Structure 1
């Protein structure tokens, strides 16, 4: 594709933005079936696209350009002192496991997370069908990075795997363990996974400077943000 969009793309209807009040959101959606493979998707990640379920998209809003794709340089990343403390604290309590298939414990944990942490979001109230259509994909390998406290699942990072990059799709965790900073811990675990797998980038999705919920994405350095189709150092 040589840094160009595929020939077949579509434009969604406008709908209320999930992150900024009084804004309308619109999505550019890939319609070309040949793009729905790991190698083509990796190229599209470099163009600012992302996956939701089986669909590849990127924001294409009429009067707003606040969404910027962010990626961490995985091989160069070194955790800060604060991040090391979070990892060390979690290491004493939790065990990391990896899975390539969905487990029965996932949806109850997701449901608890959405119900307690995101009652103001578009995914509330949680539904099993929405959970599956949002996170899973039939044309791409997914790794589920799990955090266990004894026999209890407390966090899952849904992670897309390509040849040179991984993409952090979504992390959900038990709010009862919120004091362990599990959101940050799971990104750090994705970075450790990427390093071991010799991946170049960890894509974190979109950064919106005006949205406080997104500010954590710029705490993992070195990283790059896509501005006007160029990747610039953060």
Structure 2
């Protein structure tokens, strides 16, 4: 069996900067996806962190200030499995049926420097997020939460917590996955500030401001 390859530090930073992303035990990139029974173009995103200075004042951060948060090296617990099972029954999109299958399905050739975020309401686990850490960037991998707490926008709260962790480590970027001009469900990924989002243009191997990309996209559709 092949020796595992650690995808972390500068190597993860480099792959992310080229539009690669983790799926289970693989690093991949693509410019298309299949959703709503059709193929659609997608574009990779990242948030510029040094300019993101007001996380603690964000209304979602304030909304959730009564909850307890912990961040630690990634592990899957029985409480997480129970929460994911509840979450899985309420989602209306395709996803792995367990946390393990979401993170680890396939041969364990690649390893990552992964962390978990847990959000607790008293003794009740209400939200969990996983992310991978490089030297200058983190990338969000999975978020899930209890449907009864939907009004707290816990998915976005987990994004803020991941960004705050990265900022505390003096990192430059948070990679949030991709969006598609043809699939509005992905638009939440420009949260919390579209002005700090960059979009990867693989043909040119460059990142451009989201606003410029959006304006150019709109002009070509006229």
TM-score of the pair, normalised by structure 1: 0.75
Q: State the match for 2:207 in structure 1.
A: 231
The answer (yes or no) to whether the contact 2:23–2:103 under 8 Å persists in 1 is no
Alpha-carbon shift at residue 123 of structure 1 (Å): 2.1
Matches within 5 A, 1:78-227: 78-79=53-54, 84-92=58-66, 94-100=67-73, 101-118=75-92, 121-123=93-95, 126-127=97-98, 130-133=101-104, 139-221=111-193, 222-227=196-201
The answer (yes or no) to whether the contact 2:45–2:198 under 8 Å persists in 1 is yes
Higher RCO structure, 1 or 2 (CA under 8 Å, sep 6+): 2
Alpha-carbon shift at residue 134 of structure 1 (Å): 5.3
Q: State the match for 1:23 in structure 2.
A: none
Alpha-carbon shift at residue 34 of structure 1 (Å): 9.2
Task: Give the Cα–Cα distance (whole angstroms) in 2 for the partners of residues 196 and 154 of structure 1.
Answer: 24
Q: Extract unaligned runs of 5+ from structure 2.
A: 211-222
Q: Extract unaligned runs of 5+ from structure 1.
A: 1-32
Output one character per residue of 1:50-96: Cα deviation in whole Å (capped at 9) or x when no partner.
Answer: 01121110115499672111111112113489x7111111002x111
Q: State the match for 1:37 in structure 2.
A: 7
Q: State the match for 1:52 in structure 2.
A: 23
Task: Give the Cα–Cα distance (whole angstroms) in 2 for the partners of residues 206 and 225 of structure 1.
Answer: 9
The answer (yes or no) to whether the contact 1:79–1:220 under 8 Å persists in 2 is no
Q: 1:49 to 1:122 in 2, by over 3 A?
A: same
Task: Give the Cα–Cα distance (whole angstroms) in 1 for the partners of residues 43 and 102 of structure 2.
Answer: 25
Q: 1:110 to 1:199 in 2, by over 3 A?
A: same
Q: Which deviates more, 212-221 or 56-65?
A: 56-65
CA RMSD of aligned residues (A): 2.7
Q: 1:183 to 1:79 in 2, by over 3 A?
A: farther
The answer (yes or no) to whether the contact 1:117–1:175 under 8 Å persists in 2 is no
Q: State the match for 2:217 in structure 1.
A: none
The answer (yes or no) to whether the contact 1:155–1:171 under 8 Å persists in 2 is yes
The partner residue of 1:73 within 48, 65, 82 is 48
